[in-house]
């Protein structure tokens, strides 16, 4: 039975442990006093790569023969998740900077915070996905396949198809104008000349929003 001790993280490095051939995260842990700094291998949960900040409380299991492993870390962040939920997060300056929040209702929230600027992705329980980037605005992908960009008051169009139809309409109208300008009235009556269409819709193209 190993001896369980508590300490404080003071440093770290990644290299092979003395009894292993692969690289591991090794923590420097202050166990009893400022002079008692020992190197222990951090054993994280499956599928997680964790690098605890200095000052985190560390539970150390002494397995004998000078082999110690850290089996639990407390970084001082106040727990907030409900029963059955999990949050994976990064820490800087004693605060959460980014997280993935897996909720018990089946939804997932992803958030980043850089310099006070927050970006957010919500995977809703109803199947919708909402993205809110830094700087404002949003994109919502509805479970029915609809996509909303900064609102839902109007419809998007396929620009290339619309431009093709517009150019065809302009060509056909100009053919009518040309025929009108070329016809002659009996008795030499002169009619005003119609002006050919020169409209161009190129400027309406939004190159930063793409559709299939």
Checking if the pLDDT of 1 tops 60, the result is: no
Q: What are the residues whose beta carbons fall under 8 Å from the beta carbon of 124, sequence distance 6 or more?
A: 107, 130
What's the rounded Cα separation, in Å, for the pair 160 and 58?
Answer: 61
pTM of the full structure: 0.69
**Main-chain dihedrals φ then ψ at residue 22, nearest 5 degrees:** -110, 160
What CATH number labels 3-74? 2.40.50.140
CA distance 69 to 118: 36
pLDDT digits (tens, 9 = 90+) for 75-129: 889 889 999 999 999 998 888 999 999 999 999 999 998 878 899 999 999 999 9
Q: How confident is the model at residue 189 (pLDDT cuts 50, 70, 90)?
A: low
The size of the chain, in residues, is 212
Q: What CA–CA distance (Å, rounded) separates 99 from 105?
A: 18
- Coil/strand/helix, residue 185: coil
Backbone angles phi, psi at 81, to 5 degrees: -75, 155
* pLDDT, tens digit, 9 for 90 and up, residues 18-27: 666 678 899 9
């Amino acid at each position: 039975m190993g001896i369980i001790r508590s300490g404080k993280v003071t440093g770290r490095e990644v290299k092979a442990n003395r009894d292993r051939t692969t690289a591991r995260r090794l923590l420097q842990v202050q166990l009893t006093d400022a002079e008692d700094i020992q190197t222990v291998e951090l054993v994280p949960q499956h599928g997680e790569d964790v690098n605890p900040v200095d000052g985190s409380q560390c539970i150390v299991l002494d397995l004998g023969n000078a082999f110690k492993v850290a089996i639990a870390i407390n970084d001082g962040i106040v727990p907030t998740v409900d029963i059955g939920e999990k949050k994976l997060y990064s820490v800087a300056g004693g605060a959460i900077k980014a997280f993935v929040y897996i909720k018990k209702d089946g939804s997932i929230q992803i958030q980043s915070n850089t310099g006070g600027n927050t970006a957010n992705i919500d995977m809703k329980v109803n199947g919708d996905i909402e993205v809110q980037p830094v700087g404002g605005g949003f994109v919502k992908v509805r479970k029915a396949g609809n996509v909303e960009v900064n609102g839902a008051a109007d419809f998007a169009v396929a620009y290339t198809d619309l431009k093709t139809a517009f150019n065809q309409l302009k060509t056909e109208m100009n053919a009518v104008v040309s025929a009108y300008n070329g016809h002659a009235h009996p008795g030499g009556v002169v009619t005003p000349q119609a002006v050919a269409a020169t409209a161009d819709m190129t400027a309406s193209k939004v190159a930063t929003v793409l559709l299939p």
